[in-house]
Each structure stands twice: as structure tokens, then as C-alpha cells.
């Protein structure tokens, strides 16, 4: 840790130490926060993808009454938001304060994602669905068995965006969660970093350099989402309709 304070530029690390990690791992709440973040990310992503897909699908049907109006209203939310305090009041009145659902539900459906999925669904040939209908499929089976499997790439993209957003989400947990047991990783890590800075200023005795702890906390947050990334990444590359339809 003395090396981190003396700074300078050198190619080879001067010494190896895990002291900074030991400092962070001492916080009991780290594992609670890990659990909360994992829950929010996993459940939030599933809900978000499900809602986005089920919202977008009917909206590509021209015969749906008020289809244009609904799309307009969705676009409207992309341009005009309620603002911080009104949103907070809504969350409060819904009784979601201090609940992990307050992070998941208010942003479950994003206007932008719906538009992306709609435009993807529009590229699916209507003939495909018609032939499925001929074979006796009802709209729900068509959606579940034909549309969803064909849309894996776009859904994976949405899932990736959402999961990164939820994992990194900082401002919502900050506003809505008061209880220590509900803290998520970004909030906790911010606290750890601020705590180190305060300790340094007030002359409290530290066992490691502030910069090392900051760097170690960043690594701790990054690792899980980095592990997920490559698996979703492969979906980006895949062609959308390969093998489903020959024209």
C-alpha cells in the first residue's frame, strides 16, 4: 500500500498484495448487496424482456384498434418523463418504497426497447404466422413457439441492455431503498469509497491506500457482469432468420 501512495509510473508491479480486497470483503453487507443486485438483475431482466415482447407483439398488427395511439403514447414517454419527485411520489404511493421491486417495476418497460422490438417483429414475414395459423396454432402458441424463438437475437440484446442497466443502477436504489438489508452493490460500493475518503481526511488509521480500495471495489462490481457478457454477446452476431424461411 505504501507503493500506491508514492505513485509514479512503472511497468512491472512492485509488490503483490490482496490487502485492499481483504478490506472490502470484511463488509458483511457486501454479500447481502450481491444477493440483492443479483435478484434485481435476474428477475428484472426476465420481467422486462417478457413485458417488452408482449407489448410489442400486438402493436405490429394493423387490425388492432388504437394501435397508432398506443405507439404514440409509448413514444411520448421517451420524450417527456415525470421527473424525479413525481416519480418518487408514485413509487411511494404504490407502497414500493424500501422494496427491491421499486427498482424492477418502474423501469420494466422502456419505450425505446419497445420500439426496437416492434421494428424487429415487423421484419418477421407475415406468411410465417399465417402458415402456423393454418396448422392450427392459436395466437398464443404462435407468439410462444414461432415469434419468440425467431426473435432471440433482439431479445438477447434487450436482455443485455436491461441487465447491465439494472446491475449498474445507482440513482433508483439510492432514492427508494433506505433499509440496509435492501442495499444494492453500487450503493454499498459508493459508501465504501466515500468512507475511505472520509477516513483519510479525518486521519483515521487505514490499513491500505484509498486508491487501492477504490480499484478493488470496482473490480468486485465488474466481475459478475463481465462473466455474463460473453454469453449474451454471441447472440448479437447471429443472423436473424437463418434457416427459418427460404425465399
Partner 1 sequence: MKMARAVSIAALACAMVWLAACSSSGGQNTSGNAGGPGGAGSSSGTGASAGNGGNGDAIHYDVFLNFAAPEYPADGGKGKGVLLEKAGIQGIDFTVTLASGADYFTKLNLKAASGELPDYFSVDIPTMTRFADEGMIRPLDDLIDKAPVLKSTLRESDLEAIRYNGKIYALPVGYRPEPFNGPSIDGFLIRKDWLANVGLEQPKTLEELHEVLRRFTFDDPDGNGVDDTFGISAEKSTNQYPTKFETVFGAFGVIPHFWHNVDGRLKQGWVLPETKEALTVLQQWYAEGLIDPDFPIMERKQLEEKFINSKVGIITASGFWMTPAQPQNAAIKKLTPQAEMAILPPPVGPGGRSGYPDAGPNYGNLKALSAKAENPEKWFELLNWQATDEGQFLVFGLEGEHYTYDREKNLVSQKVTYSDLYAEGFSNPIRFFQVVDRRWLDNEESREGIMIVNNHTIENEFWKTVPAMLKYPDLPLLWSEYLVKIVTGIWTVDKWEEFVEKYYSQGGKEVEDEVNEAWSGQ
CB 193 within 8 A of CB 206: no
Q: How far is the CB of 170 from partner 1 (least distance, A)?
A: 8
- Residue reference for cell 454469453: 231
Asked if residue 188 binds partner 1 (CB under 8 A), the reply is yes
Strand segments (E) across 19-149:
none
- Secondary structure in 3-state letters for 138-159: CHHHHHHHHHHHHCHHHHHHHH
Q: How far is the CB of 50 from partner 1 (least distance, A)?
A: 24
Residue 96: alpha-carbon gap to chain centroid: 19
Which of 191, 224, 228, 232 binds partner 1 (CB under 8 A)? It is: 191
Q: How far is the CB of 6 from partner 1 (least distance, A)?
A: 5
To 5 degrees, how large is the angle CA 59–CA 63–CA 64? 45
Which of 16, 28, 136, 230 binds partner 1 (CB under 8 A)? It is: 28
Q: Measure the CA–CA gap between 127 and 144, rounded to whole angstroms.
A: 17
Q: How many residues bind partner 1 (CB under 8 A)?
A: 54
Binding mask 202-241 for partner 1 (x = CB under 8 A): -xxxxxxx-x------------------------------
Binding mask 142-181 for partner 1 (x = CB under 8 A): -----------------------------x--xx--xxxx
Q: Which is nearer to partner 1, 84 or 245 (CB)?
A: 84
Asked if residue 5 binds partner 1 (CB under 8 A), the reply is yes
Cα distances (angstroms) measured from residue 49 to each of 58, 74, 76, 93, 231: 15, 16, 20, 26, 17
Amino acid at each position: 500500500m505504501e507503493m500506491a501512495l508514492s505513485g509514479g509510473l512503472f511497468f512491472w508491479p512492485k509488490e503483490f498484495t490482496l490487502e485492499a480486497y481483504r478490506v472490502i470483503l470484511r463488509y458483511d453487507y457486501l454479500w447481502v448487496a450481491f444477493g440483492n443486485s443479483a435478484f434485481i438483475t435476474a428477475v428484472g431482466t426476465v420481467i422486462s424482456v417478457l413485458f417488452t415482447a408482449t407489448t410489442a407483439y400486438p402493436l405490429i398488427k394493423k387490425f388492432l384498434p388504437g394501435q397508432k395511439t398506443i405507439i404514440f403514447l409509448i413514444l411520448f414517454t421517451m420524450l417527456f418523463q415525470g421527473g424525479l419527485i413525481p416519480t418518487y411520489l408514485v413509487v411511494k404511493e404504490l407502497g414500493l418504497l424500501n422494496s427491491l421491486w421499486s427498482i424492477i417495476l418502474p423501469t420494466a418497460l422502456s419505450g425505446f426497447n419497445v420500439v426496437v422490438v416492434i421494428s424487429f417483429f415487423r421484419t418477421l414475414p407475415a406468411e410465417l404466422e399465417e402458415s402456423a395459423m393454418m396448422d392450427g396454432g392459436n395466437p398464443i402458441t404462435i407468439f410462444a413457439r414461432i415469434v419468440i424463438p425467431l426473435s432471440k437475437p433482439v431479445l438477447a440484446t434487450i436482455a443485455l441492455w436491461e441487465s447491465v442497466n439494472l446491475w449498474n443502477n445507482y440513482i433508483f436504489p439510492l432514492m427508494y431503498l433506505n433499509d440496509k438489508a435492501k442495499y444494492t452493490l453500487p450503493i454499498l460500493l459508493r459508501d465504501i469509497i466515500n468512507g475511505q475518503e472520509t477516513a483519510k481526511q479525518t486521519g483515521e488509521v487505514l490499513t491500505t491506500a484509498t486508491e487501492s480500495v477504490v480499484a478493488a471495489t470496482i473490480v468486485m462490481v465488474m466481475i459478475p457482469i463481465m462473466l455474463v457478457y460473453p454469453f449474451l454477446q454471441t447472440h448479437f452476431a447471429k443472423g436473424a432468420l437463418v434457416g427459418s424461411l427460404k425465399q
